[in-house]
Amino acid sequence: MYLVLCTMYFVLRTLTSCSSSNCPLESTVTCNYGFYDTNGTAVAYNDTMTVSTLLAGSKTQYTYQLFGHRTITSDVRIDSLLEQGYTETISEVRRDTILGNKLAGLAKMKLPMGYFSTCDTIIIRYASISNRDTLYIQHVGYSNVDLPECGTHRFHTLTGIRATDAGIDHVEIVNPAVNYTGSENIRIYFNGTVEVEE
Amino acid sequence: MNMKRQRLTYFLSLIFPLWLGGTGGVLLHAQGNTQEPPQPQKYVAVIEETPQLTFFQGFTLSADAFGFAQYLFSDYGSLEGALRLNLKNTYFPIVELGYATCDSEDANTQIRYKTSAPYLRVGVDFNMLKNKFQENRLYLGVRYGLSRYNFDISGPPIVDPIWGGSEAFSYKDIATTSHWFEIVAGVQVKVWRNFHMGWSVRYKHKISSTKNQYAQPYYIPGYGTTTHTTGWGATYNLIFDLNWGKRKKKATQVTIIERPIVAPTDSTVVMPDTIESPIDSIQ
């Protein structure tokens, strides 16, 4: 009887107290973009890009202009520019934040998505193109738990996308399910083509 | 000296057919020896018939103590009973019915999972012991499991680190149906009269669960936790044999024949090939 009780206790402890992580190693939810030329050939985009997104709410923006000089914008007042003769313009603009700063030579990029928004606005500024491109990504977000020990994730389903055409030829959704698997979701086809060596 | 050799030859002529499986019939006397064969006074032969079991051997009711112990010492557990048929002490069709509950909160993520629901398993066990007459059993079996249940899952509010904002995370009554199968190995020993005890280990493989975009079931009643597609389980069974409708098994007959050998008229000795005096039989 003693042996039976000991065996039961051992089996019980073994089955109920084992602990190991069953969570995925990469669990960051990102929307994955692939870069292509106009013809659909995967490319590494050589131009330097800065990617930002608009946030909810507004902020005060200071703009400084002086004839013959580059226009400077800042979220804080710069008194030294006024002393140099710059003209200051104060305006209320949408808040934004930079998601990727001075990205160069990328073939793909990963960007987060707004948890509770239904349309994300992604702004791409190029180093060699004066105009910028804006991506409008419509999506539906939902919370997901695989296992309680792994925490919650915010997954998304892409429902639509459009973009301006400063440097972009067109965009398309190739996989609407945004999760942590790392699969490509959106393809950006930039203007121009690359020559493929035969 | 010659007499000793004759006796040895005759003795071997009696023994060899018996050793080869013969229990009666004709035994040949040693060839070439026609002079006064020695006459044994008597011999003994034992005949055993292979016993047969009737098809239906009764019912078995059992309860699982392991699931109840799990309930006492962990966040989940079950109460389970089973009804098992005994067919020829070899095949045991079984129905297992239980009610499982789980109320678990992860210490790190503070996500809470809660469910309570019945479950059903059906299958069959096979007694692997060669001797089917003994009360102890070593068995292998298979099960198909099914549970329909609702679960609640909740956790801390989700906060967007970039765009801002937060939302409560709480979903209730997510309806789910799960199927799985099990491979069972276990033993059962007689403790006292009709009371048996035994245990089993089970390899479980989930076939499917209803897809839900918010959460996957963490605990399936009857299956256990779902940290992997496959899992292991165990039962510790308290078993009561109910002999309702059980027929008596056929008698095992052991017959001993005791008779002087008839003196041969020629070179052969004729052995009786009929059973003349059944002496003993056991149930």
Q: What residue ranges do the domains of chain A occupy?
A: 23-57+95-190
B109 touches chain A (CB under 8 A): yes
Distances, alpha carbon A61 to alpha carbons A53, A75, A81, A92, B77, in Å: 16, 5, 15, 6, 61
Spatial separation of the C-alpha atoms in residues B116 and B150, rounded to whole Å:
8
Which whole number is the average pLDDT over A19-44? Answer: 86
For residue A21, what is the nearest residue in chain B, using CA coordinates? B227
A55 touches chain B (CB under 8 A): yes
A67-76, B133-142, B222-231: the lowest-pLDDT one: B222-231
What residues does CATH 2.40.160.20 cover in chain B? Answer: 56-242
How many Å lie between the alpha carbon of B167 and the closest alpha carbon of chain A?
8
Exposure of A81 in the CB half-sphere (CA atoms within 13 A)? 19
> What is the predicted pLDDT for the residue at B42?
63
Spatial separation of the C-alpha atoms in residues B211 and B224, rounded to whole Å:
18
What type of residue sits at position B35?
A: Q
Distances, alpha carbon B79 to alpha carbons A94, A126, B76, B82, B101, in Å: 60, 66, 11, 11, 9
Assign domain B56-242 one CATH number from 2.60.40.420, 2.130.10.10, 3.40.1010.10, 2.40.160.20.
2.40.160.20
Residues ≥6 apart with Cβ < 8 Å to B265? none
Spatial separation of the C-alpha atoms in residues B58 and B170, rounded to whole Å:
50
Which whole number is the average pLDDT over B24-30? Answer: 40
Spatial separation of the C-alpha atoms in residues A182 and A171, rounded to whole Å:
19
> What is the predicted pLDDT for the residue at B48?
60
CB-CB neighbours of A31 under 10 Å:
22
User: How many CB contacts within 8 angstroms connect chain A with chain B?
Assistant: 93
* Tens of pLDDT, residues B118-132: 999 999 999 988 887
ipTM above 0.85, yes or no: no
CB-closest option in B69, B74, B108 to A8 = B69
> What is the predicted pLDDT for the residue at B280?
43
For residue A54, what is the nearest residue in chain B, using CA coordinates? B163
Is there a contact between A186 and A31 (Cβ–Cβ < 8 Å)?
yes
Which chain A residues are within 8 Å of B71, Cβ to Cβ? Answer: none
A152 touches chain B (CB under 8 A): yes
What is the full DSSP assignment across B139-183? EEEEEEEEEEEEEEEEEEEEE-TTT--EEEEEEEEEEEEEEEEEE
DSSP state of B52: -
Percent of chain B with pLDDT over 90: 45
CB-closest option in B70, B160, B218 to A16 = B70
CB-closest option in B74, B153, B233 to A145 = B153
Which chain B residues are within 8 Å of A152, Cβ to Cβ? Answer: 109, 111, 155, 158, 169
Strand stretches in B56-161, DSSP E: 56-64, 76-87, 91-105, 112-127, 137-159
Percent of chain B with pLDDT over 70: 67
For residue B170, what is the nearest residue in chain A, using CA coordinates? A143
Spatial separation of the C-alpha atoms in residues B168 and A28, rounded to whole Å:
20
Length of chain A: 198
Residue A39 region by backbone torsions, left for phi larger than 0, else alpha for psi between -120 and 50, else beta: alpha
Length of chain B: 283
Which chain A residues are within 8 Å of B158, Cβ to Cβ? Answer: 115, 143, 152, 154
* Tens of pLDDT, residues B71-109: 999 999 999 999 999 888 889 999 999 999 999 999 999
Residue A23 scores a pLDDT above 60: yes
Is there a contact between B273 and B247 (Cβ–Cβ < 8 Å)?
no
Tokens of B235: 């039962």
Contact A152 B236 (CB under 8 A): no
Contact B215 A144 (CB under 8 A): yes
CB-closest option in B70, B113, B216 to A12 = B70
Residue A153 scores a pLDDT above 80: yes
Q: Which of residues 131-150 of A touch B (CB under 8 A)?
A: 142-150
For residue B212, what is the nearest residue in chain A, using CA coordinates? A144
> What is the predicted pLDDT for the residue at B223?
93
> What is the predicted pLDDT for the residue at B51?
66
Spatial separation of the C-alpha atoms in residues B162 and A96, rounded to whole Å:
10
